[in-house]
Amino acid sequence: MRRFSFLSLFFLLRLLLLWIISASGEEGFCGFPPSSLLEGSGTSTKPLYWKVTNPTLSPSHLQDLPGFTRSVYRRDHAVITPESHVFGPLPDWDNTLGAYLVSPAWALTSQCTWRGCRGF
């Protein structure tokens, strides 16, 4: 019984030590960097939509901008992907960005009033 207790304690302490060593590493858990590294100004990691808020006209920069999209428009339907949204300021709001849909001009397909909606 005493030997089982000693082995259990040994493996428990070893597991705890390995956990502490992995948690104190620079990589963080599961290889993901800690959030403090992502928010720091000295890293090369940039926010998801940094090209939208800091635009430039270089061709390599324009490649990943919204508007260069996988969206498909057909006569009777459209598949709209997240790249089809452009982020810009919202009128009469402070420090906000709204997602605007980028699409070709479509004819009016429905009209809604207080009485209801009708299609064209």
Going from N- to C-terminal start, the domains of the chain cover 1-45, 47-120
Higher pLDDT, 67 or 93: 93
What is the tens place of the pLDDT at every residue in 69-100?
667 777 777 777 766 667 788 888 888 888 77
**Whole-number pLDDT of residue 65:** 54
CA distance 67 to 51: 12
Assess whether pLDDT exceeds 50 at residue 28: no
Of the CA atoms within 13 Å of residue 25, those in its CB half-sphere come to 13
- pTM of the shown model: 0.26
**Whole-number pLDDT of residue 92:** 86
CA distance 17 to 21: 6
